Chain A
Amino acid sequence: MIDDIVSPARAAWEDLQERLFFLPPFPDAVDSLALFSLLLVIGLLVGEWLRARWGWPKVIGYVLAGTVFGPSVLGWISIEALAQTRPIADAALGLLMLEIGRQLDLRWLGQNRELLRAALAEISLSFTAIFLFAWGVVGLIPAWAAAAAAVTMASAPAVVLLIVEESSAQGQVTERIVIHTALSAAASFVVFAVVVGVVHAEYSNDWLNAVLHPFWVVVGALIIAWAMALLALLVASRLPKRSLAQVFILVATALLAVGTARMLAVPVFLTLFVMGAILSFSDQERTLSYTNLPEGHWLLAIILFVVVGASLPWQDFTWLIGLQAVGLLLVRAVAKVAAVAWAGDGLGVAGRRVLVGIGIQPLSATAVFMAYEIAGLYPEIGRSSLSLPLFAAAIMELAGPALCRFALVRAGESAPADNSREGVA
């Protein structure tokens, strides 16, 4: 059918070419950038439709569009085109990680020991439960079970931030969802760095790499983050607070950190998260504390989630892996809800603590990218061993945002639905 349409067009084009010498040959394939842009438009429309029609988070629409048009299903967007968009996705994820880092106020933990206890319980119980499930039930070897636990123990900062923003949520449940997400992301990065060392030791028997790689990752991220935070504060302190120029400096230094991290093979999301946390902690004069990232960066988030959706390996799906992934998610959910509900969290009403536990269920972009990162180091083994967390992430790409939104709505902390005031993200 497509040939019926294309053939006459090709013939007409070739006729024209005889007279118009500047015309290029008839394109055999649609330019990948054009295709990808089209995909973004579709993602946006699907997201908006889901939001308007069913009240679902828009991010689900973005992921769905990426999944359907990506290599796993229709294949309209190729793996090569996907690779070309990775820098933009890194920048988007980086900016969202910067934002969650900026919202991590460690002083709060000092003033609320119950919250600290709940965070530690949530982090340790999530890792332990997922590790035991992956090792004892699924049968992964300890190193890969630990890797699976490291990448899936954290909540998804990007998803949580988007849902909070989209819902205009405000309140104590929201605050706790954000801080638990930030803390579990931080813990996940540290555990992941250690696990990478363990995997090196297991497979390459190269102790130098086993010790130095985690060191490189953590110290590298710290140095880049510290330098960029310092630069941002230095320049921003010479500008009026909350001015556009300050926003520009924040975004520019963040993108500089993304580029530097990519050049040095240091994880972008870890670097930006640490940069945000350093900014939050060291900004005594509140130079950048009140500066919000521009709304435009939420547009980058659409690209991020379309890319994530397209990166999900649905072509490798089997019912067994699907069941195992569901099992992992159930174990993870129970661990998170139980830890927060048990440890108190400083919230007086138990039902609201359970809502915090539900709100921190999303698992997404960072886990997917981390899984690909470790799988890339040992492609022959890693990909199959990490299909479990990848499929868990794939399922939660769709269920996570809905769970987070459910928690915010049930807590009464989301703004009443008013689609007329909605932005694009």
Chain B
Amino acid sequence: MSQPIADFKQSQPLNLGVELELQLVSGRDFDLTRGATDLLASMDYDGRFGEIKLEITESMIEISTLPQTLVDGIAADLVGLRQALVNQCARNHIAVCGGGTHPFHRWAERRICPGDRFDEIYHRYGYLAKQFTVFGQHIHVGCSSGDDAIWLTQALGPYVPVFIALSASSPFVDGEDTFFQSARLNAVSAFPLSGQCPELRDWEDFMEHFSFLQACGIARSIKDLYWDIRPKPEFGTVEIRVCDTPLTVERAAALAALAQALVRHLLRTRPVLDTPRHLHVARYNKFQACRYGYEAQLSDPIGRRQVPLRQVASELLAALAEDARALGCSGWLELLDASLASDLSDAKWLRRRQAIRRNLNDVVRETAMRFGKSGSMNLAEDPG
């Protein structure tokens, strides 16, 4: 049954919220394991850092922070949520880790979580629902109006490859090196309403577009829109959905800082958008970022040339310095800049561990150790 879109809830502009989908792995062999429902049922957690909730399969769990003005608040919430989850998992012989895909699980073995919504998704999308056992980071940035949210949905579009490359942590699928830095988005792109939002003028235009999709029977609720960036009227935010779940909560906080600073920059400078042209190259650029990460060559539809993603990202981080200072998140952006300069991404870290260990079970074990460690500010640090 179709659901009308909720009114756009006005939120404090630039407020941040982060959701991380995390992997539950067996303490025995570090394969994905079912346990999300029991884990939550026995959990004694007062919600002080945000929510811990079920995701579609029993091997996934989602943590979401409280709305925060500062990235430091997001980082503190993520650390608190991580600790609560790590402790609870240890009590149940489970480990929890980041990463956009589990390197070697078999999707057919996944079990859908109980619940009408998950059941409905499973019946609608069939095996895609189980193959959707991939793990992403969603970043919400508060907007003062629906019009701003729609404008940002398009203004942020050209920066999608930067978010993909900086968060890429899914090089392995089905026990194989995919040669991608982020293979997760290939699973998302199988859904019919994935990809880029079309050119829209404002909130009213978006409502019309969505009504059209509903009338055609393509979408029932806004949750059916698996766009890379989409408005979230219930929260009053624009939501960036392209990031893999990083291996550490510190990188997750740094990506949130990038989103916050970028949104401030865009709202402050209000650049003229050429969405139709960007839409022509969006899929290509997304593929480049997923496939090559920092080494991607992006297509610039305005300058009609190719530009290295590394250059685009570096220039962007430099351009955001003033906004980052104003938001008190310069340190977080410096972490990303250092990661870019030293050529160390999460995907590369995973490949390096695999080269040393030559065993993906060990790689997941070390990934879980890395996720569980607190206080690490070095995004490229190895486990002890």
Contacts and interface: CB of A to CB of B under 8 A. Distances in A.
Nearest to B87: A111
Interface stretch (B32-40, B132-140, B294-302): B32-40
A172 B58 CA distance: 11
A349 B29 contact: no
B114 interface: yes
B13 interface: no
Nearest to A114: B91
Contacts of B30: 290
A415 B112 CA distance: 11
Interface in B17-55: 27-30, 33-35, 38-39, 41-43
Contacts of A173: 38
A347 B38 contact: yes
A175 interface: yes
A416 to B, nearest CB: 9
Given A105-B28, A171-B35, A290 B42 contact: no
A336 interface: no
B339 interface: no
B29 A241 contact: no
Contacts of B28: 103, 105, 289
Given A170-B34, A413-B34, A346 B42 contact: yes
Contact of B365 (A103, A112, A115, A286): A286
A69 to B, nearest CB: 37
Most A CB contacts (10 A, CB to CB) among B30, B35, B38, B362 go to B38
B91 A346 contact: yes
Given A170-B33, A346-B42, A111 B361 contact: no
B341 interface: no
A350 B10 CA distance: 43
B42 A347 contact: yes
Contacts of B92: 112, 172, 175, 346
B38 to A, nearest CB: 4
B352 interface: no
Contacts of A171: 33-35, 38, 58
B96 to A, nearest CB: 14
B201 interface: no
A241 B42 contact: no
A359 to B, nearest CB: 14
A84 interface: no
A105 B35 contact: no
Contacts of A290: 29-30, 359, 361
A346 B93 CA distance: 11
A112 B91 contact: yes
A286 B361 contact: yes
Contacts of B362: 241, 286
B129 to A, nearest CB: 15
Nearest to A111: B90
B120 interface: no
B93 A105 contact: yes
A108 B94 CA distance: 9
Nearest to B362: A286
B363 to A, nearest CB: 11
Interface residues of B, number: 25
B358 interface: yes
Nearest to B91: A112
B315 interface: no
Given A105-B28, A175-B93, A346-B92, A241 B38 contact: no
Nearest to A172: B38
A268 B93 CA distance: 29
B38 A168 contact: no
Contact of A348 (B27, B38, B361): B38
Contacts of B111: 170, 412
Most B CB contacts (10 A, CB to CB) among A103, A168, A171, A241 go to A171
A242 interface: yes
A175 B34 CA distance: 11
A171 to B, nearest CB: 5
Contacts of B42: 346-349
B109 interface: yes
Contacts of B58: 171
A175 B95 CA distance: 14
Contacts of B91: 111-112, 114-115, 346
Nearest to A173: B38
Contacts of B109: 168, 170, 415
Nearest to B33: A170
Contacts of A296: none
Interface string A143-173: 0000000000000000000000000101111
A288 B356 CA distance: 17
Interface in B41-73: 41-43, 58
Given A290-B29, A352-B38, 12 more contacts: A105-B28, A108-B93, A112-B90, A170-B111, A172-B38, A172-B39, A172-B92, A241-B361, A241-B362, A289-B29, A348-B43, A349-B41
6 contacts: A105-B27, A112-B92, A175-B35, A175-B93, A347-B38, A413-B34
Shortest 9 CB-CB contacts between residues of A and residues of B: A348-B42, A172-B38, A348-B41, A241-B359, A112-B91, A290-B361, A111-B90, A108-B93, A171-B34
Interface of A: 103, 105, 108, 111-112, 114-115, 168, 170-173, 175, 179, 240-242, 286, 289-290, 346-349, 352, 412-413, 415
Interface of B: 27-30, 33-35, 38-39, 41-43, 58, 90-93, 109, 111, 114, 358-359, 361-362, 365
